[in-house]
Structure 1
Amino acid sequence: MTNFDFHDLGNIGPRFTWCNNKEGASQIWERLDRCILNSAALQKIPKAVTRHLVRVASDHSPIAFKIDEKKKDFGDEGMILQRKIIRTLKELFFWSKNKFKDLNKMKEELKKKILDLQHKEAVGIDWSVDDLLLLRSKIDELNVTLRRLSTWWNQRAKARWHEEGDVNSKLFHNFTTARRNGNRVNQIKDMNNKIQVEEDKIEEIFIHYFEAKWKARDCELSSWPEIFENKKCNIEKFTALTSEFSVNEL
């Protein structure tokens, strides 16, 4: 799969897709069925996901291929604003991808222009100093565009191969799409141990978790020893504790 640029989408629902329908120690569960896409398909449908359905007429689970759906805003004003911000970030992401496409288009146009000028130079007819300067200018523009493309893919892949001299954009492309797909959370269990697969539900579970984690708590201090006036730090000790470390202390 890696050699031929195919990536597993992951799944929602039961972990396995096949069972031998036996009981006890003879029962076998496996994930035999998968949905895989190449990098080009992942670029067009980045939110694609597969769902394992209920086994009824076969010992294999049917697989449903789901593409992202548009949803209307609901909830309070804060949640609506948050969803709009998320959609804006997505639009900026695709805008960045379109800028990358413009760089590719610019690269091809520059290569064609350079080829025409070099052909004119080889023939030697009507070749002038201005044509020579134009050729050098186009070559310089092409080199800049290639560096911009390489930087774009290097940033998207978050890999260090570029530092070692590898500027293979296809390699960065495959690395980026696979990493993004692997980091996506497709399903999560809620407080009732029920699996939730909708994005809004997953987001709500995370919000509730961290709100409960960082909420203010009432501490019971009745069993702690009392602090008497004569046991408090005096000014001298307080100054020593709050002063900066010296070189000797370090």
Structure 2
Amino acid sequence: MKSFITCNNLHEVACVGPKYTWCNNKRGVDRILEKLERCLVNATAFNSSHRLLVKHLTRLASDHCPILFKLLNFIPPNKKVLKFEEVWSSIPASIVVVYKSWNKNTKGDPSQALNDKLKRTLRDLHFWSKAKFKAMNLHKEELKSKVLRL
């Protein structure tokens, strides 16, 4: 079975509900719980922009849990990813942006505070850079269009 799954590039969809899908309906030490049923999809479905969900429903009249597969609403593409630009570290004015952004109060546990500070600092650097280099980017675009015309 593992070979079949690997060769066909199948992936298991995450599930919600009881961990085990089968029970031998006995009590105490004789009780056996297993996850027999799984929902497998190919890579195209797994990587699609739709959210896939499998629910293990409550076992009622059978020794197996009914399984509900849902194809949920379209997930819009992620927001633009901000990345640190190495050129920022070569500009002395960026230190002031980092200092101001980093020293703002942040609530939550230390790991959450660190994450919030990093996000805020990166966002502030991005907007600072955008404003600072706007004229340079306009000039760059003009030069690109001239090169294309030539």
* Bigger helix fraction: 1
- The TM-score bracket by the shorter chain reads 0.3 to 0.5
Name the TM-score, length of structure 2 as normaliser: 0.47
Rg larger in 1 or in 2?
A: 1
* Bigger strand fraction: 2
Name the TM-score, length of structure 1 as normaliser: 0.29
